[in-house]
Chains A and B, each alone.
Chain A
Amino acid sequence: MSKRIICRVLVLLLGVVLAIPAVVAYASRNDTVRVGLRFDPATLNMLEMKTGFEIPVILTMNEPLLGSDPVTGDRIFSALAESMQVMPNKKDIKIKIRKGARFQTGDPLTAADVKWTYEQCVNPKNANMMAGPLDEIESIEVLDDQTLIFRFFEPYAGWKELMWIGICSKKYYDSVGPEKFRKNPVGSGMFKFVARKVGESVTVTLDPDYWGYSYLKKEFNIDKPNFKNVQFVIIPDDQTRIAMLETGELDIVSDILPHQVKQLQKNKRVKIKRIDKVPSLYGISHKPYADPIMKDQYFCYAIKHAINRQEIVDKVFLGEGYPLYLYASKTELGYDPKIKFDFNPQKAKEYLKKSSYKPGYPIMLTYGSDVPNASLVAAAIQQYLQNIGITVKLRQLEAGTMATYSRTKDPRIGPLLLFAWHGGRDPSTRLMLSMKSNSPYSAWPDRPHKKEMDDLIDAQARELDEKKRAGLLAKYHGMWMENPSSTSLFGLNMIYATSDRVEYNWAPQEAFIFNLHLVKIVK
């Protein structure tokens, strides 16, 4: 029995000992902003960036050429580039880098580093996610340490969307080699890399010697942050991430599901915010190679009119979004709120009658987990289509299999595929990749009017004048809607929340957490 008493005493002692580090850890949190991330960044090496999930972390350390305006989200000169100028031939962009820019190692950042970084990003060995879009650049010419020219093959309207790549130091890479470069990234940004615990967290700390504090204050009235560290904490589970925000273990959490808002609202220590000007596009992709019926335009019209987009937004996403009728989301050029068509089951039924669809023929709708509430959206669509007489079968496909099927045009993917596009601000990349008939990802290479549509896609990409470009895009949309190769469904608001000790506003037009140097600790 005395053994048990000893046990009790031991447990008590243990409790006290356990409590001390917890208190210490809590105290050290005061000058750290903790950001919850869903995915572990695959790499912290800008040159090998694989997915968008790495962007928020890497760009705190590696400064890009262009920054983004905290109010409008437009690309502005709040970063390395002092000026950019489209040359008269419309194909060349002359870029001037700010004087005094330097890496965290102390070495100056020169035009040669920019050139080198961009070249590494297209190097297939690095499998960088930007390699595709960057193929538009023919060459980069260094004029002097501060100036360089990007030469494009053709005038390229989306050139500003290539300017967010974080610049790396060639000298550092050469001196430490690829292994260390990967493990211990160095950039010219406001934050320095401290430590990474794979699968757990990445910590960066404010660089007191950052070169740009004075110009940021002078030109953009941006103060030095009033905190020391940013810690990105990786919490894959949505529910756990939210719970940690509630307990104050995290300061900023994004991609909150509408259902979680109600619970969060009860918590006075959490501030919930939302923004609709973020890239967000959800729809159903048609796969004619899986089932020729998808080539039938009347069948596609029937689908178009059968789905009550507003109800999906209201019921499945509790109103946190907007119905989408065209192939561009709110942040993209070409978005036009006036274009919409009515939800009209009667009309849909008439179209269905005109089509070659035979009642009872099963149509497979595939969905993955990349769409929030995917199973709900899929089931809702199943209901709408069944209401007009289309038999729909649902199937959830695991992400990897789905990616393989769509890349290899495997008919097993099924005629309808629920997709998500978190892409950027410019529709060009997506149009060129998924719509142009010669692209390997085009689901319908032999579509009607393919020549005209291809030409339109090219023409809009070459058109630097925004108004003319919008006109071309509108024309394109018209043709696309005549023979739809996908059905847009909705866009979603970005719901994010912060603890009450920090002040942060989402950068418009960004799909990921951005502008973390603008975070203020208020308590």
Chain B
Amino acid sequence: MQGYIIKRIAIALLIIYVVLTVVFFVFRMGGADPVAIMLPPDATPRDQKVLTEKFGLDKSLPAQYWIFVKNAVHGDFGLSFKYSEPALTVLLERLPATIKLGLTAFCLAFCVGIPIGIISAVRRDSWIDRVGRVMALAGMSLPSFWVGMMLILFFGVSLRLLPISGSDTPLHYIMPAFCMSLYPIALFTRLSRSAMLDALKSEYVVMARIKGVPEVYVILLHALRNASITLVTVVFGVFGALILGSVVVETIFAWPGIGRLVMESYFGRDYPVVQIFVMFVTFIVVVMNLLVDIVYAYIDPRIRYQ
């Protein structure tokens, strides 16, 4: 077991290192000179030179890479060109806003999507099933950025019910969180419905029914427990959708999170920040994969000995 975990961790570290390297070379080789963007039009060549040196852009690529790796090991991913602060600090400063919004959206999707999916499966072809199916279809077909724009126009400008931007009060969360949860809701509804349908037909449930267990318990205890295994995987898979959602929604609603930060940094050629965003997301994916591996290994001994 220990050997297995160590092996997994080693692989995870390797992946992170590879991503680190790829990201480094990609951002150094491509596109514009960041110094050119940072300096005002009336800066002198001397300023340019000093700044180039400050960010180490005057050294050769391998030398830069070596410094980069060395620093990365110490958790130093370079200074943000724009903010003149460590890129990691800049990212971490904005992270709470994204986590709050992302969690809200996730909980919303979870609390709406999964119950609807389960009820749809239990009461097939009832009105709630139909509503669920339409909702799932809408969530898959409506582009969230368009929905966001329409929400702003309708609830923000026309009705003046909800604040358009900012993150001070819970009211500020309603529109962005709804917008961000559209796709996850659809996903959860669809998958929980089909997982539940499967489970309801399984032998356990049939057995339980034959034994005369009350229907509520059949659904809650037997069917749901079996469906939940599928659901865990789905919850994990929704991460990508949430990251994309945060970029889109934060751009539209001026939410001060990492999604907006990375867009601004990308357009401002603030490489270190874009870089740290890419690495951060990969890091989370790797860690999540690692955790899932380890948890599975505990649950299912067969995996360990593969």
**Chains A and B touch each other in the complex, with CB atoms below 8 Å apart:** yes
Which A residues fall within an 8 A CB radius of B? 17-19, 21-22, 25, 40, 42-43, 48, 50-52, 124-125, 127, 129, 131-133, 135, 182, 197-201, 233-237, 239-240, 243-244, 246-247, 249, 398-401, 403-404, 407-408, 429-430, 433, 440-441
Residues of B within 8 A of A132 (CB): 40, 42-44, 47
> Contact: A400 with B269, CB < 8 Å?
yes
> Contact: A400 with B34, CB < 8 Å?
yes
> Contact: A21 with B37, CB < 8 Å?
no
> Contact: B38 with A240, CB < 8 Å?
no
Given contacts A43-B83, A127-B39, A127-B43, contact A236 B170 (CB under 8 A): no
Given contacts A48-B84, A127-B51, contact A22 B169 (CB under 8 A): yes
B210 to chain A, nearest CB (A): 25
Let me know if B261 is at the binding interface, CB within 8 A: yes
Given contacts A236-B260, A246-B157, contact A433 B32 (CB under 8 A): no
> Contact: B36 with A408, CB < 8 Å?
yes
The CB with the most chain B CB atoms within 10 A, among A48, A182, A404, A429, is that of A404
> Contact: B169 with A18, CB < 8 Å?
yes
A334 to chain B, nearest CB (A): 18
Residues of A within 8 A of B37 (CB): 399-400, 403-404
> Contact: B171 with A19, CB < 8 Å?
yes
Contact of B156 among A243, A400, A403, A404 (CB under 8 A): A243
B75-98 near A? 1/0 per residue, CB < 8 Å: 000000011110000100110010
Closest Cβ neighbor of B90 among chain A residues: A198
> Contact: B264 with A40, CB < 8 Å?
yes
A135 to B85, CA, bound (A): 27
Stretch from B58-66, B180-188, B248-256, B287-295 at the A interface: B248-256
A132 to B50, CA, bound (A): 13
Closest Cβ neighbor of B173 among chain A residues: A18
B222 to chain A, nearest CB (A): 18
A21 to B170, CA, bound (A): 8
Residues of B within 8 A of A182 (CB): 84-85
Let me know if B212 is at the binding interface, CB within 8 A: no
Closest Cβ neighbor of A49 among chain B residues: B40
A396 to chain B, nearest CB (A): 13
> Contact: A244 with B164, CB < 8 Å?
yes
Contact of A404 among B36, B160, B252, B260 (CB under 8 A): B36
Let me know if B203 is at the binding interface, CB within 8 A: no
Contact of A249 among B43, B48, B54, B165 (CB under 8 A): B165
Closest Cβ neighbor of A433 among chain B residues: B42
Residues of B within 8 A of A440 (CB): 45
Residues of B within 8 A of A236 (CB): 251, 254, 260, 264
The CB with the most chain A CB atoms within 10 A, among B40, B48, B163, is that of B40
B247 to chain A, nearest CB (A): 13
> Contact: A200 with B166, CB < 8 Å?
yes
Closest Cβ neighbor of B97 among chain A residues: A200
Residues of A within 8 A of B32 (CB): 398, 400-401, 403-404
> Contact: B256 with A240, CB < 8 Å?
no
> Contact: B160 with A247, CB < 8 Å?
yes
The CB with the most chain B CB atoms within 10 A, among A18, A132, A249, is that of A132
B33 to chain A, nearest CB (A): 4
> Contact: B40 with A129, CB < 8 Å?
yes
**Residues 231-263 (chain B) with a chain A CB within 8 angstroms:** 251-254, 256-257, 260-261
B163 to chain A, nearest CB (A): 6
A51 to B50, CA, bound (A): 17
> Contact: B163 with A198, CB < 8 Å?
no
A192 to B156, CA, bound (A): 32
A18 to B268, CA, bound (A): 36
Let me know if B127 is at the binding interface, CB within 8 A: no
> Contact: B166 with A42, CB < 8 Å?
no
A50 to B37, CA, bound (A): 10
Q: Can you list 20 A-B contacts with CB-CB less than 8 angstroms, sorted by A residue number? A: A25-B168, A42-B83, A129-B43, A131-B47, A132-B42, A198-B93, A199-B261, A233-B165, A233-B166, A239-B152, A240-B164, A240-B165, A243-B164, A400-B268, A401-B31, A401-B32, A403-B36, A404-B33, A430-B42, A433-B41
> Contact: A237 with B252, CB < 8 Å?
yes
Residues of A within 8 A of B256 (CB): 197-200, 234
Of all A-B residue pairs in the complex, the 10 with the closest CB atoms, nearest first, are: A124-B50, A400-B269, A200-B256, A129-B40, A400-B32, A18-B170, A404-B32, A199-B256, A132-B42, A404-B36
Residues of B within 8 A of A200 (CB): 97, 166-167, 256
Let me know if B74 is at the binding interface, CB within 8 A: no
Let me know if B305 is at the binding interface, CB within 8 A: no
A12 to B253, CA, bound (A): 25
> Contact: A398 with B44, CB < 8 Å?
no
Residues of B within 8 A of A25 (CB): 168-169
Residues of A within 8 A of B93 (CB): 198
Residues of A within 8 A of B261 (CB): 199
Residues of B within 8 A of A408 (CB): 33, 36
A224 to B42, CA, bound (A): 37
Residues of A within 8 A of B254 (CB): 234-237, 240
A339 to B93, CA, bound (A): 53
Residues of B within 8 A of A21 (CB): 168-170
> Contact: A124 with B264, CB < 8 Å?
no
A440 to B51, CA, bound (A): 17
A127 to B79, CA, bound (A): 14
Contact of B253 among A42, A197, A240, A433 (CB under 8 A): A240
